[in-house]
């Protein structure tokens, strides 16, 4: 039996979490959620998910710090991270890429756009190596 891939969503807005779950309902993934940066980072380090969807504006520990910590830890350095944020300016997108994010989506987003990015990352076995 094949194990579902694990997508960790770190976002403090319940409506965004529901939208992401709905966008992925037909995809064979297990969606786990964390409502703040510290608990999201801890979950990522414990579980090593196949993908992290990360908001930047988070309580306790912001998304920039979470991304930096994920990239600094050898256990999570290769985990693909897609930033999903209301701070959709080009400076934030550029900074996210510089820090190692594989994708950047501005809120509000279209579920089809999110699915396309997630499927591209999860269906490419070498995504973390590129």
Among candidate residues 74, 67, 35, 30, the one with its CA nearest the CA of residue 49: 30
Model pLDDT, residue 129:
41
Residue 126's pLDDT band, with cuts at 50, 70 and 90, is very low
How many domains does the structure of the chain reveal?
1
Long-range CB pairs of 40-43, under 8 A, 24+ apart, other chains included: 40/8, 40/10, 40/66, 41/10, 41/66, 41/69, 41/70, 43/8
User: Is 86 among the domain residues?
Assistant: yes
Output the pLDDT for position 105. 92
- Is 44 a domain residue? yes
Q: Rounded to 5 degrees, what are φ and ψ at 22?
A: -65, -40
Helical ranges in 48-89 per DSSP H: 63-72
| Whole-number pLDDT of residue 22 | 87
Residue 125 within any structural domain of the chain: no
Q: What is the mean pLDDT of residues 108-116?
A: 87
pLDDT at 70: 98
pLDDT at 79: 97
User: Domain for residue 124, yes or no?
Assistant: no
pLDDT in the model for residue 125: 59
Question: C-alpha dihedral over 119, 45, 14, 111, to 10 degrees?
Answer: -10
Query: Which residues span the domain enclosing 38?
Result: 5-110
Q: Are strands 29-34 and 51-54 parallel, antiparallel or unpaired?
A: unpaired
Residues 14-65: pLDDT tens digits? 999 998 988 888 888 899 999 999 999 999 999 999 999 999 999 999 999 9
The CATH number of whichever domain residue 47 belongs to comes to 3.40.50.2300
Residue 119 lies in a domain: no
Residue 13 · residue 36 · CB < 8 Å = no
């Amino acid at each position: 039996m094949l194990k579902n891939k694990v997508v960790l969503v770190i976002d403090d807005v319940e409506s965004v979490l529901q939208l992401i779950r709905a966008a992925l309902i037909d995809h064979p993934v297990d969606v786990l959620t964390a409502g703040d940066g510290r608990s999201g980072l801890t979950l990522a380090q414990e579980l090593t998910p196949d993908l992290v969807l990360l908001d930047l504006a988070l309580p306790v520990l912001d998304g920039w710090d979470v991304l930096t910590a994920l990239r600094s830890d050898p256990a999570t350095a290769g985990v693909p991270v897609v930033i999903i944020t209301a701070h959709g300016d080009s400076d934030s997108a550029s900074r996210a890429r510089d820090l190692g994010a594989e994708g950047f989506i501005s809120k509000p987003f279209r579920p089809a756009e999110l699915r396309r990015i997630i499927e591209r990352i999860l269906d490419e076995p070498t995504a973390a190596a590129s």
